[in-house]
Amino acid sequence: MPFRVTFVCTGNICRSPMAEWVLRHHVEEEGLDVDVDSSGTGGWHVGDGADSRTVQALQRAGYRSAHIARQFEAGWFGSYDLIIALDRGHARALRSMAPGEAARDKIRLLREFDPKAAGRDLDVPDPYYGDRADFEQVLELVEAAMPGLLDEIRAALETV
């Protein structure tokens, strides 16, 4: 059974699909048995594709992208091994809907996996109202967290 990871942001059109496709790229490249997806805390964009600026930032960096936005549901906690929030607000929203301590323990912030972020603000800023540079900054923050996240996933796969 694959290790399952989901990323969660606000509307599931900017940050979480970006993180999803960056991690997908890395786990596919390494041949790891990992399923990756994403969702949002709100339902405003359910059924929409990723923001075009997210898609463009991913493509410029050599990543693929295909996405349909969806909203995270409380019943999904049992389906995931790791639920990664893109900012503290998302983490709070997820913790509030978690059915118990075991579910809350699955929730982590993406930037927790970036050793250079220690002691700093762990939020990935929302680029939605920004420009190309804001989306590029989000991609940089996502990529900076990937080595640590991959280490965590590899360690979890070794214990299975």
Q: Which residues are catalytic?
A: 9, 15, 126
Helices (H), the chain: 15-30, 52-60, 88-97, 101-104, 132-159
Sheet holding 82-85, edge to edge: 34-40, 3-9, 82-85, 107-109
Note the Cα 159 to chain centre separation in Å: 23
